[in-house]
Amino acid sequence: MRLFVAIDIPTHTKNELISGYSEVKARLDTEGRGAVKWVQPQNWHITLKFLGEVPEKLYERCTSILTSCAHQYTPFKMRIRHMGCFPTPKRPKVLWAGVEEAVETLSPMSACLEEAFEEIGIAREERGFHAHLTFGRVKKFAPGMAQAVVDCLSTRVQSDWFEVRNLNLYKSVLTPKGPIYSLIFKASLADR
């Protein structure tokens, strides 16, 4: 099973982000001529840990880890606030919307997951954690895209605050039309 741990984006928050997303998408589709593979809003989430291919025999260990890490944190509020890209605007590979205010919760939460999953043989992420919502992945770099990306970074992308109450384990099935995500386990954050 191909798995990842994520925070869901509520429907009302997705609706708030559609305008900025559509503006960025229209601009880069014009400049990039299909160079970006866009993530559909129904698939938006904040990934805390990508597990990759995990044998089914480890499923219960995965849910146990998720529950244990979730119980170390209380519900918190966050919002989506600005546009960004990895690694640089001159050669972007990922276009994203950033998270505000929850970094002091999300970073240690991600570290908890990294450490616990490493104990069952799932490799740590080599890159540092940076909370974000992926809007699109650049598949081929087209002329004129660098300036278009720089221009898009000033696009207003902002949501109201929303509450996070769960950590979610998703199964991802890759298809020619894009990934299909299925929620397979939900762990509640601690109520204190």
- pLDDT tens per residue, range 72-112: 999 999 999 999 999 988 889 999 999 987 667 999 999 99
Measured at the CA of 80, the angle between CA 22 and CA 156, to 5 degrees, comes to 45
Which of 45, 71, 82, 130 is catalytic? The answer is 45
100 burial class (0-12, 13-18, 19+ CB within 10 angstroms)?
A: middle
- Is 132 part of the annotated catalytic residue set? yes
- From CA 50, how far away is CA 122, in angstroms rounded? 9
Look-up of token digits 């997303």:
21
Q: Which residue type sits at 6?
A: A
- Is 130 part of the annotated catalytic residue set? no
Overall fold of domain 2-186:
Cyclic Phosphodiesterase; Chain: A, (3.90.1140)
Q: What is the pLDDT along the chain (192 residues), one digit of tens a residue?
A: 999 999 999 999 999 999 999 999 998 888 767 789 999 999 999 999 999 999 999 999 999 999 999 999 999 999 999 999 999 888 899 999 999 876 679 999 999 999 999 999 999 999 889 999 999 999 887 777 888 888 889 888 999 999 999 999 999 999 988 899 999 999 999 986
